Each structure stands twice: as structure tokens, then as C-alpha cells.
Chains A and B, each alone.
Chain A
């Protein structure tokens, strides 16, 4: 519009030569010759097959011609210009030869006068150029003509929505039914065309020779969100863009409501064939499948594999899905190495992380049935943790230790077991094992994940007999204990399902690996070159233990102390860096450090 305004109306007093349509036609041919960005990309992409990229176009010229011979003169001009420009384009990288050009000349003349130019259907003037002439009266006749042409040129079809209830402008409490005609791609009518449902079409509107298919408005009952079986969606435009009925319909749709459309059938049966719906300010005509479904009477999901299981973690997986929803990232992002990051790949990575340990049924898990574990479970799956996350995880673990001390009951499933199920300490052992499995699945994410595992290993309880044996530090018994544990593990695993079994084996493998390290760390074996804190913790019994039975409190505070001490050792290497926190615990570190060393020595004697 702004461009039109800049040109302004022709000045009747100016030289008629300078506002001749010939300038426009020449400019049109020039523009057609210019390579578009898309063509350029396609040519570069195809390299040796560059000639496969086409360059066809159409020139629509609205003018007032003086006579048929004037029209012929215009045609000759276009023909000549194409010829010349194609010669130029042959030797140019930024020009392309025109392979086919359609010239549509629309001669328009004032209402009330006689046309001096006759209509002429499409005619081939040369292998490159075809031309057609339309002679129309000005005003709305021209608009109607353009409406017909636009349908031909862009493969459009027309649908008229009938029975749209609309409040009257004058009498707000009455409503009348209106019709609105829409244009859209003709594929939206594909079912009518193929089935030859002729009674639907054929209602040609006065003045125009085009046909429109009538569909009836179905007032939406609810805002119920449904997933319809839709086979195509095509953008629409009302023919009368700003008429009151049109804007009423489009505003209704733009406000987010959808309208189902019904085929009027003589038999009286109701067939919903289309739906109008807007998506982000664009209105689409959805084609809904109205033919017989090919999936009649399918088996229910409850009849198939896994259909008889009743304790799926449906709510938890729902939460999981919400956390793994997608969102558009329109600005490009880059990885550390400078390569482009694909958001969808990030989404897949996240799914991988979030499902490393994900039991599918309630009776398969303890920790995911415990509210107390949530703060840890929700963050441990993250790619990286903040200091606060680590702190929360540690708090969660301490809290669990506290629960164990207080002998709080755990939500252990008793499905498939006789009697009351496992004893309380056995329950905690199962819970700790599971928690360890979860945390271990993520230790490679970051050093902070590692720290969470270290905390867990320091705090988790072991069966008393196991600790007894460890205290004595006898390698053989250690081994026995290990095999016993493996058996127990297996028993626990047995109730797990096929898909989980493999994962279980993997986890056991990891555990065994960890235990192998423990054995290496026995008095007989040489010191490992890089002693991991967690290994040390498992192997180093607290000093009180060797003196006989201990109170829960001393056991507890001892664990906390050793956990803290380990934390300090971890920081020890970084003491030179500016870290005030490390300094804070300096004295503790010294005390505990000495203790552990002494104990370590003592146990090794």
C-alpha cells in the first residue's frame, strides 16, 4: 500500500509516453529474469544439475488498451523483451533465462462504455510465451474477475460456510444466519472431487462462473480439546475480507475457537467433513476423515502385552512427560566447540538422562514412592548440578539416615511376598540399594554428581554382619559376604521384570566392580594408586566399632563426621585456591584426618 501511495495516480497532463504500460511490462520481464534467492540456493546445491532449476513466471497486466492491435503491440513488446533478456541471461550468474511466461492482460474500461478490446483465451505466441486477454468493466467487476483468476492461478477452490449465527447490528438480542465464502487450496475438496459427489457443488453464484461447495456451520458445544483425524490443513482467506459476516467468523476463530463443518446430505445423515481452526493468527481449513475407518474394532491396549499389570506409575510418567515437553528455540545456539546445537538433539539427550533409572511400576520401586526422596530424584537427572542442588541431595540423604534411625516405615511393596514382607532393616537396605542405583546412573554427568554418590555411600547403612566382618578386615569373609550380597541382590532382582533384568545385571556389574576395588584395598593388596574417597570410606571402620556395640547416636555422628572429613579431603587439593569454606573446617579436618590415619594403620596391623 505504501509503495502504491509513493507512485501516486498518473498525472493526466504529463506526457502519455512516460506513463505508458510498456515501461511496466519491460520491468516485469527484467524482474522475472533476476535469480531469486531460492533459485540461487537450489542451483548452488545441485551443481552440475543446475539446469534442472526452472524459471517460469506469469505477468498480470491490468491496463486500459485502445484496441485489439494495441493489445497485439503489448504482446509483441513482451515477446521481444523476453527474447533480448534471455540472451543476456545466458551468460550471467545472477540472471536466469525465462523458460515459460504467461501473460495475462486485463483490459478494464469504465462502466457504461463499450469495450474496444475483445476477450481472447490462452494462445501460444512462442514456445516461451502464452498470452490471454480479459476485458472487464471497472469496479467490482474487475474485483470479481481477479477473484476468478486468483483461483485458477493458485489452484484454489471456494467453500461457502452457511448458517453462521450472528447477532444483528441493530437488534443485539436477535440473531440471523449468514453465509461466508472462503478461498483455499483445492486439495481441501479432494474427497468431493474424487467421489464425484456432484450434488454438493454446482451452486454457481450470480455474476461469477465459479463454483463453491457449501458446508454447514456446527455450533461448537464445548471447548473440549480433541484430537481429530485430519488428513490435510489448508490456509484460507475470506473472499470479502472485511465484510461484517467475514470478520465475525474470522474473529471468532482467531480467538481460539474451532468450528466443525457439516456436509449437507439429502439423506439427512450428519457427516462432519471439515474443521475451521486458527493457529497463531492463521486460519486453516482442516479436512477431517469422514470415510470408514480402516482400524475397526482394534484390540484394547489392556488386552495386549503388559495389559494386565495394574500398578503402572501413570502419574509419575505424566509428570515426566510434562518435564520433557518441547518448546521452540528460534535463535541458533552453539556448543562449547562452536558447532551448532540442535535443540531436538538436546531433547533426546534429556530423555536419555531422565530414563537411566526409571522403574515402570509402583511395586518395582521404593524410592519413587517416598516423598522424602523427591528433592534428590528430581535434580540428580540433571546434566549439571548447582552447589545448592548438591546440598539438597545431601540433606535428602541425611534425612533418610534420620528416618532409618527413627525406624520409620518404608513404602516397600509386599506384592508377591508372603506375610508382612521384609524386615525393617532389610527394607532400608533395599531402599539404599535402589537409591544408589539411581545416583550411580548419573555419576558421570559431573563431579558434583560424584559428590552426591560419595555422600550416599558414606551415609547408607550396611547390614550389621557385613560391618562386623569388615571390621575384622578378613579378606576371605569379605568375599563370602560379597557372594551373599550378590545372592540377595539376585533374589531381589527376581521379582523384577524382563526389561529391567538387563539393567539390573549392568548395575550389579558396576557394584561388583566397586567391590573388587574394596578387595584390592585389603591389607594384602598394594595401595591403589589413586584411592577414591568412597573406597576409603567403605573400608575404614569408625574407631568405636572395634570396641563392641555402639549406640545409634555415636554411629550417626560418626558417619556425619567421616562424611565431613571426606569432604575436606576432597577439598584439600584446592586449599590453595580462594575457598573460605575449606578454611572454616580446618581444625575438624586435622582432627579427623589424624583419627582416620591412625585407624587405618591400626586395622592394617
Chain B
């Protein structure tokens, strides 16, 4: 997860304190030297940088390091907050950030100092404006290196603790770290929203081909890194002093078979994903992700919580083992698949609907009928199919005049038939025209929507078959 460190570099910050904690993060932005604190423009800068780099969907942590002096005059935080309600869209206050965020305010001052002015209130307003996402940290005791380190230690514990979990596939297990830490998810529509957190037991429930899962939408994706949990690093201080020890330990761990590596290898070779249960009615998938030709990794993507995150898989709870099916739904030669599930209703674009919004739509349909009329009796079936389609649409729209019009056109076609034409053509055209006219009255039994005009049974049917 990206972190943006914003340093207050006003003169008041030049008290002799070095901040070593910040070296751990990759600062994306350091504001230039100023002689006064101008928090609002700093936050606007953060907004722009994050959006350019990561877009609006990636959660970011913003660590603001300040001494709690909020600046003076225009551009000061007090001024910004005072004018907050009078903003237009163009000079919108940067909070809440237009991306998922946590705003951590690290105050180089202790609580008493801050409380002596209204600084703390103003900073708390900032967190409130960010929809409560974030926290203020202050120094315990006097301002010295040790206390500053301890303050940043608290931030690390809160926001940078690795997420440890156990990946399970039946009896095969592996200790893993999930990175970045999965964020709690708040379901929108629930009446009492409780943030959902993923289980620390990640249980594989089965496997699906990549073609079947078909690039599903996901909330976030994470590296799943196998870890060797041996020296009680549950509450890790983070930094180990002895690098050599670490290296040899890593080498030993590298030689111990790990389920993650086996799983990754097979997922990659087979082109499959593993469906993993993250919590009640919450699932995700594990897959192999190649970063480059050589490097590839086990990744986990989280689906949106809910009973049916992907319409084309159906309800997750209804997915079961293929051995329970009467016959293998993937076929004996692995040549078919039970996915995707077909929706109950066909979409309008997936069926031959009649749309006459534009004149061209109607024209095309009438022309189709006339084209087939000239190729009777060979095109008898197509002719009647198109005729019935037009008839149905006209009845539904109450466009009865159209039926009369088309009937007239068919009669005219009949008179224009060349001498070489098959005699059946004239019979069918006359029959069709007559049926349309009956339908256009709108009252007779012939105007039923479900009624279909069927070809006239003629004596020529035998000879026409011969001709074909």
C-alpha cells in the first residue's frame, strides 16, 4: 500500500530532532522549504500525486509530520477550516481524499503543548473531514529522539503490522503473509454496516479454470508470501540485527518444501485458480501472477463479499465437487465446462428483437419480406418467419395500418410476378396478404398475438420439392 509522507518544513520544525522512522517509507513527495506552514496546499499536493500515480481506487496512507503549529494568516489551517463551508467545486478542500485513505498526523509536540492552543481541535477536524479515517499521534513526555521513535513505533504497530495467515487446502497448510494488509470492507447496503475483516485461516474450497473464472472484478489483490514462523515473530519488532543469521535461516527455509510453492507451480502449469474462503459469504481466488519472464508469484484477489460475487459462477455455496455430479461436467476428455451459468432471461441483444425506433429499422424488416417474396417458393420458410415477426411487432405496437400496407405490397408483388415464376408463389403471396388483412382488423381471431401465419398447403408442394 502506498504511503505518502508529508513533512512540515516550516521554520518552527527546525528544532533539533531527527526522524529516523521515515526512512522506512518511500517518500513520494517532500514539500519544498517554506517559512510557513500551509497544510491545505500540502494536502492538495498529496491528492494530485496519489491520483496521478495510483488512480482513485488504491488505498493510501498519508503520514503528515508536523509540529502542531498550524501556520498564520491566509493558508493556515485555521483559515482553511474557517472557509471550509464556502468552497466551490473548483477550490474544493482536499479532504476527504478522493481515494481510500488513512491520514496519520504525527505531532512533534506533546499533548499538553497542543492543548494549550486550539491546534489539537483543528487537527481533529482534519481527521473528521476525512470521514474519521486516520489518527493523531503525539509525543509522550519531552521532545527527544527516543520519544519520537516510540511515537513512530506506535504508528508502525497500528498501520504497518504484517497480516499473517494460514493457507489451508485440507491437510496441506502453509504459514503466509498477505501483503498489502487486506482492508476491512464495509458492505454498502446493510442497515448496520459492520466492517468485514478476512479470516486468518484462508481455506481453499476448490479449483476453477482461468477461462471459467474469466477476469472477475476484485476489490484488491495481494501477494501471498510463505513465511517461516519459528522465532516468535508474531509481535515482530520488525528489524533483526544479525543479517547473517537471517540469511542462513532463509536458506534453510528455502529448502523446506512449502505448500505455497507447490500450489503456485501447479496453478501456473494448469492455468487454474484456487477458490479460497475468506469469511462467511466472502471468497477470493489464488493464482499465479507473472511479473516478468522469470519472476512469478502467488497472488490472492478478494471478491466483493456476498453470496454471489460473480454472476457467471452462480451462488458460491452451490459450488460442489465434480465427484458428486452424475457425470463429469468437464467431460471425459476435459472438453467442456459447467461455466458460465446461463442467466434466466436472454438479453435483448442476445435475441432477435424487433426495434423500429428509427425508420431504417422498419424499412429493413419490410424489405426482408419483399426480398424473400421474390424467391418463393424456395424461401417459403424464411418468408413466413419474417412475416410473422413483423406481424407480432405490429400487433404489440398497435400499428395495425402497417399490416394493411404490407398486405397491399404483397398483392402488388403478386401482379408483378414474371411468367417463369412458380405458380405456388402467387398462391402463397395471396394467402399471406389475406392473412395480414385479417390481422389488421384487430378484432378477429386472426389478430391473436400468439397466432402464426402458416404456409398455404398447395398441390405444388410435391413438384416444388422435385425442383429443389
Seen from chain A, the residues whose Cβ lies within 8 Å of a Cβ on chain B are 1-2, 4-6, 8-10, 46, 49, 52, 140, 143, 190-191, 194-195, 225-233, 237-238, 240-243, 246-247, 250, 254, 258, 275, 277, 279-283, 286-287, 289-292, 294-295, 297-309, 312-315, 317-318, 320-330, 342-344, 346-348, 350-356, 358, 360-361, 364, 382, 497-499, 503
Contacts and interface: CB of A to CB of B under 8 A. Distances in A.
B332 interface: no
Nearest to A359: B257
Contacts of B215: 226-228, 230, 258, 275, 277, 286
Interface string B211-253: 1011111100101011110000000000000000000000101
Contact of A328 (B191, B277, B319): B319
A346 B56 CA distance: 40
A495 to B, nearest CB: 12
B253 A306 contact: yes
6 contacts: A2-B396, A243-B361, A299-B225, A343-B320, A343-B324, A344-B320
Interface stretch (B267-275, B404-412, B428-436): B267-275
A574 to B, nearest CB: 29
A323 B322 contact: yes
A499 B358 CA distance: 70
Contacts of B287: 227
A345 to B, nearest CB: 8
A350 to B, nearest CB: 4
B58 A294 contact: yes
A318 B270 contact: yes
B201 to A, nearest CB: 12
Contacts of B56: 190-191, 194-195
Interface in B364-418: 392-393, 395-398, 400
Contacts of A361: 257
Interface string B310-347: 01111111111111110001100010001111110011
A231 B258 CA distance: 30
Contact of B258 (A143, A246, A306): A306
B116 interface: no
Given A5-B396, A143-B357, A326-B207, A295 B171 contact: no
A317 B298 CA distance: 15
Contacts, number: 341
Contacts of A243: 361
B255 A326 contact: no
B262 A242 contact: no
A195 B50 CA distance: 10
A286 B442 CA distance: 46
Contacts of B355: 240-242
Nearest to B170: A355
Interface majority SS on B: helix, strand, loop or mixed? mixed
Given A1-B449, A195-B51, A330-B318, 18 more contacts: A46-B191, A227-B287, A227-B289, A254-B349, A290-B55, A291-B55, A300-B295, A305-B256, A314-B262, A321-B207, A322-B207, A325-B272, A326-B322, A330-B314, A344-B206, A347-B321, A351-B204, A497-B257
Interface residues of B, number: 122
B353 interface: yes
Contacts of A281: 342-343, 346-347, 350
Can you list the 10 inter-chain pairs with the closest CB atoms, starting with the nearest?
Answer: A306-B258, A343-B320, A9-B398, A355-B170, A280-B340, A291-B55, A279-B312, A194-B56, A5-B449, A308-B254
Contacts of B98: 194
Contact of A283 (B191, B226, B254, B349): B349
B230 to A, nearest CB: 9
Contacts of B330: 322, 325, 327
Contacts of A323: 322-323
B380 to A, nearest CB: 24
A321 B267 contact: yes
Nearest to A311: B257
A238 B349 contact: yes
Nearest to A320: B266
Contacts of B2: 294
Q: Which of A241, A247, A353 has the most CB of B within 10 A?
A: A241
B320 A301 contact: no
A301 B294 contact: no
Given A305-B226, A344-B205, A327 B319 contact: yes
Contacts of A282: 311-312, 343, 347, 350
Contacts of B316: 344
B395 to A, nearest CB: 5
Contacts of A342: 317
Given A140-B358, A281-B343, A321-B274, A326 B321 contact: yes
Given A327-B319, A498-B256, A9 B206 contact: no
B253 A499 contact: no
Given A321-B207, A327-B338, A499-B259, A294 B269 contact: no
A356 B169 CA distance: 10
Given A231-B218, A294-B58, A308-B254, A327 B325 contact: yes
Nearest to B268: A314
B261 A344 contact: no
Contacts of B42: none
Contacts of A300: 291, 294-297
B419 interface: no
Contact of A499 (B227, B257, B315, B398): B257
Contacts of B314: 328, 330
B23 interface: no
Contacts of B264: 301
Contact of B251 (A232, A246, A308, A315): A308
B1 interface: yes
Nearest to A250: B349
Contacts of A348: 170, 203, 205
Contact of B261 (A277, A306, A350): A306
Interface string B38-63: 00000000000001111111100000
Contacts of B311: 279-280, 282
A328 B318 contact: yes
